[in-house]
Amino acid sequence: MASRSQSTRARSPEAKRAREATILAAAARLATVSGIRSVTLTDIATEVGMHKSAMLRYFETREEIFLRLAAAGWVEWSQAVRGQLADAAPGTDDENSADAVNGVDREPRLQAVAGLLAESLVARPLFCDLLAHTPMNLERNVSLESVRSFKLTAIAEVAAVGEALRRVAALSPAQAGDVVATATAMAGALWQMAAPGTELRRLYESDPGLAHAVVDVAPRLTDILSALLRGYSAGGEAE
């Protein structure tokens, strides 16, 4: 927990940005441990040593804090997964590189791409949690400008990941965007169903009658994305 001395109001722009970063980091820590659903504005204020009313000088609501974290999560995931996809792309010096994208080696490549996307999301538990809560409540109870800023960030990162996908799979821009949207939406939904680290998860694992409720996110998401990519592939070459 931060010192109570931090309750002093940040007056310069630099100090304000530093205080906002401290608040965001505290919210991320709490949500990583307990899940977004259970973290209140009072919890965050206590973590940084501020009164809840003082928090409103920096963020209008609890939802704005987590929406800012969601935007940062999109940027961080996009940068990381684009690097991984670039490493997976066929080399320009490989005489069989065209076949690797469009020919007989397509099936294992698509499976590998699906697995890469799934694993990159599962490796970011807080981002998966944020992905589920964003449309349900984080885009509510905030200003329209906050929603607009978040949406522009997310849309730009979806497009960037989509372009990276097109370098390793024969997809149209719309298809690539749909793959990214499916990956992130299903990651959020499956993460909630899996309920990792919760009493629900322990119940599912301890009762044989509830075995069907135990969701292993990475392989399930890999299967979904692999099927989608194969379907697009079977439909013919992307334009």
Q: Whole-model pTM?
A: 0.85
Say which DSSP state 126 is in. Answer: H
User: CA distances (Å), 213 to each of 4, 134, 216, 219, in order?
Assistant: 44, 24, 10, 15
d(CA 67, CA 12): 24
Q: For 152-189, b where at least 16 C-beta lie within 10 A, e where not — what string?
A: ebbeebbebbbebbbebbbbeeebbbbbbebbbebbbb
Rg, Å, the chain Cα set: 21
Domains by residue range for the chain, with CATH: 1-59 (1.10.10), 62-234 (1.10.357.10)
**pLDDT tens, N- to C-terminus, the chain (239 residues):** 444 444 456 678 888 899 999 999 999 999 999 999 999 999 999 999 999 899 989 999 999 999 999 999 999 999 999 999 998 876 544 444 444 444 446 778 899 999 999 999 999 999 999 999 999 999 999 999 999 999 999 999 999 999 999 999 989 999 999 999 999 999 999 999 988 778 887 888 888 888 788 889 999 999 999 999 999 988 765 55
Residue 118, token pair as written in the block: 């799934």
